[in-house]
A and B are shown apart, each in its own frame.
Chain A
C-alpha cells in the first residue's frame, strides 16, 4: 500500500492546470461575474428553501388559527378529538406520536449501528457494495408496503413477545396491559395488537435505512492516520473501532438518530394501517390503541366541517414545529461534533 503510493509520487507529474504548484497563486479581491452569479444562485437557492419552510408554517398557522383561537391552551391538554363539539386537543395524539417514535428509535438505532459497523468495518469489499444497495433498497420500499406487512404478518408474530413482556415486565408502567390475563387460555390476544409497540416496530423498519446510511458514511470517514496509529499501538480491530471510529462518529450517530426520529414522528401510512386509534392518553405501549398526529390527519381528512379541517391543520402545525425542533437539534449536534472533519 505504502510502497505503491510512494511509487506514484516519484513519477513525473502530468501536465495539467495545476502544474504550476510552486508558483504563488494569485488572489482575486474582486470576484468575477461567474463567481458572483454562482453566489447569487446558491444564496437564492438557500433562501428559497427557507421561504418554502416559512410558507408551509405560515399556511398551517393561517388555516389553524380559527381552531387554535377557539381551543386556546386547552389544545395542548385535551385528549379527545371532537372539533365540532368543541372538545379537541393534541394531548393524546402527541403522546402517541412521541411514544411510537421512541419505540422506533430504540429498536432501529442498535440495528442501524450494528449494520453500519459491519458494512463499514468488517464486510469483505465485494459484499459491501451489495449490502449498501440492499439497505438503500429498504429505504425505497413504500411505507404502505411496510404497513401491510406489519398488519398482516408482523402483528401475529409479535404477540408472543408482547405477552411475555407484559407478563414479566408488567410492573414497569409502560409495559402494563389492562384487561390481559395471561393465565386464562380463552383470554383474547387482541389486547396486544394494534399497539404502540407494533406500530413502533413497523416505523423502525422504515427509519433504519436512513439512520444506517448516515452512520455508515460517518464511520467510513474516520481518519486513516488514527486507525493506523491504533493498530500500530497493538489494538485489535474491535479495539481500534472502540478507540477511534466510535468516538469519532459520536456526533454523526446522534445526528443520524435525530434525523431518523424526525422521519419517525411524521410517518403516516404505516402507522395508519396498523394502529387502532384512541383519543385518550395511552402510556401502555403494549396495549391495543394508540394514535399519532399524522395518522389522525389521514383518518379525519374526509371530515366535512371547515372547522374540523382547521383543527386538523392545528395538529399538523404542532407536528411541523416538533419536527423542526428535532431537526434543528440534530443539525446543531452534528455541526458541533468532530464527525466528518479530518485529523488535525
Chain B
C-alpha cells in the first residue's frame, strides 16, 4: 500500500512538473502561436488559403474550411470556429426571414475585394469562345430561366462578332448557402428587380424578394446546383459541360484557365473583373462609418452597380472576416494573438498578392479601418505598421487610390455596338477568339482573318477586317486563289467583298476572311431503331457471350471426346 502511495506521489510530481514546463513553453518563445480555425466563404478562399500558407513560415497554423458564407456565419455564431468569413453581414433578411446576429461579441473587417464573375464553357465549332459579352439584363434572364439558348437574340445582340450555336444554356448555381449567391441575387434584385421577382414568384417565394444565400431552382429546368465555388467552377470546366455558365469569384476562372463574360456597365462598356476595374467600381461603395454600429465597415453597393465610369465592373464587392471581440466560446487571448498577427499580415503584405490571385487589393482607408478593428480582438499584440512598407498597389502618397486612378480604359471595341474585341478574358486571356469581320473592325482590330476558309471561290478572301493591330487589312492569304486586293477599307468599316461586291458580314465561311466559327443549324436525320448501331450492339453482345461461353464448352467437348477414345481403347 505504501509503495502505491509513493508511486502515486511521484507520478503527481511528474505531472506537475510537466504542466509547469508546458506553461513555460509559450511564454518563453514569443513566436509560438496558438492554432486557430475559421470557416465560411469560398468566394475569398483562394486568397485566404494563399495567406494561410504564407504565414506558416512564422509558425502560425490557421485552419480554414470553405463551407460557404452561411455555414461560416452559423459556425461563428455557435462558437465552433474562431473566425468566420462572409460576403454579407448578419441580420440580412432572406425571403422574409431575418438572420439573428450572434450573442458573442463580433466585429467585421474587410479582407479583400473582388468581382463576382460569370465563368462559362462554350465552344463554337469545337473552338472555345473567350470573348463573350453580356449585359446585366441578359445575365439576369439567363439565371432566371428566361433565356435558355445561346442563339438567343439578346445574346446575339451583345455579341455582334460571334455566331452563337443553337445550344442549350446550362446555368450552374450554388446549392449551399453562399455569399456569392447573396451578392449576385442582391445585384439582380436591385438592378433587374422585375426579372428576379418574376423568378421568385415561379419558385413560390414571397415577392418582392431581395437577396438570398440559397439559389432557388425550379425542378426539371436544366439548372445544375453544385456546392462550393470549387464545385461550380469545377463542374463548368468539364468537357461535358459545353454550354454551361456559372457565377463565381474571378480567381476561380483565372486558376481554372477559363474565360469570364464581360459585363456591360452603366457607361456602355463591357468590362472584366480585373483588379483595377474592381478598384474603380469600389470607389463608389458606401462603407458604414459609424464606429458604434454593429454593422461598422459593411458595404452598400448601390452606387457601384451603376457607376458611370467606363472601367467599372458592376458586380464588385468586398469580403469580410467576422472577428471575435470577447474571450468566450473557446476563444482565448492566445488565439487572439494568432488572429491579430494573421490580420496584420494579410491587411498589409497579403494585399500584394490579391491581384495575381484574381482579387483586388483593399484601398488605404479600409486597411487603416481594418487595423483599428484588429485592436478589438482580445489578446492581440498591437503593431504599428508603416503603410508604405506594405507595398499595396492602391496606396499613394496623396491618399488617392492609385490602382483605380491608373486603371487602363477599355478598348473602343469593348463599347456596346457593332464591334467586338477578340481578346480572351479571365484565365484564357491569351486565347483570342476570332470575330466576324464586320464586328472586328475599329481600333482594336483582330487576328480574325487568318484563314480564309477553303470554299472561297474568288480571291476576295483577304483580310476584311483582319488588320492585326491597326485595322489596315493586309494579312491573310486565302485557301484558294491569289491574294489580291487587300481591301484596305475593310479595316474601318469592314464589309464589302472587292470582287463580288457583296457584304461579307456573316456569310459564314464563304471567303469573308473570318475563320469559320459558324456552328449554326445542324440537323441530323433521326435514326431508326433498327439502324446499324443497334445491329453492331447486338453483334458485340453475341461476341461477348461467345467469349465467355465458348471456351468451357469447347474444352468439355474435347475432354469427353478424348475420354471416349480412351474408353474405347
Chain A residues in the interface with B (C-beta under 8 A)? 80, 82, 84-85, 87, 151-152, 155-156, 159, 168, 178-179, 183-194, 272-273, 276-280, 282, 288-289, 299-305, 308
Contacts and interface: CB of A to CB of B under 8 A. Distances in A.
B336 interface: no
A302 B243 CA distance: 31
B112 interface: no
Contacts of A300: 177, 214
A116 B537 CA distance: 32
A299 B239 CA distance: 26
B97 A186 contact: no
B217 interface: yes
Main DSSP-derived SS at the B contact region: loop
Contacts of B239: 156
A190 B524 contact: no
B70 A186 contact: no
B463 to A, nearest CB: 31
B226 A194 contact: yes
Interface string B215-258: 00101101111110001001100111111100000000000000
Nearest to B165: A186
A80 B100 CA distance: 24
Interface in B194-226: 204-206, 213-214, 217, 219-220, 222-226
A80 B219 CA distance: 10
A190 B121 CA distance: 12
B219 A280 contact: yes
A199 B238 CA distance: 17
Interface centre among B68, B168, B204 (most CB of A within 10 A): B168
A78 B244 CA distance: 31
Contact of B522 (A159, A168, A185, A191): A185
A321 B518 CA distance: 57
A304 B225 CA distance: 20
B74 interface: yes
Interface of B: 67-74, 94-100, 165-168, 170, 175-177, 204-206, 213-214, 217, 219-220, 222-227, 231, 234-235, 238-244, 519, 522, 524, 526-527, 534, 537
A259 to B, nearest CB: 28
A299 B176 contact: yes
A153 to B, nearest CB: 10
A82 B204 contact: yes
8 contacts: A156-B240, A188-B222, A188-B242, A190-B240, A193-B240, A273-B231, A278-B219, A303-B74
B52 to A, nearest CB: 19
Given A188-B242, A300-B177, A84 B96 contact: yes
B527 A280 contact: no
A156 to B, nearest CB: 6
Contact of A302 (B204, B213, B234): B213
Contact of A304 (B97, B227, B235): B97
A305 B165 contact: no
Contacts of B74: 301-304
Nearest to B72: A302
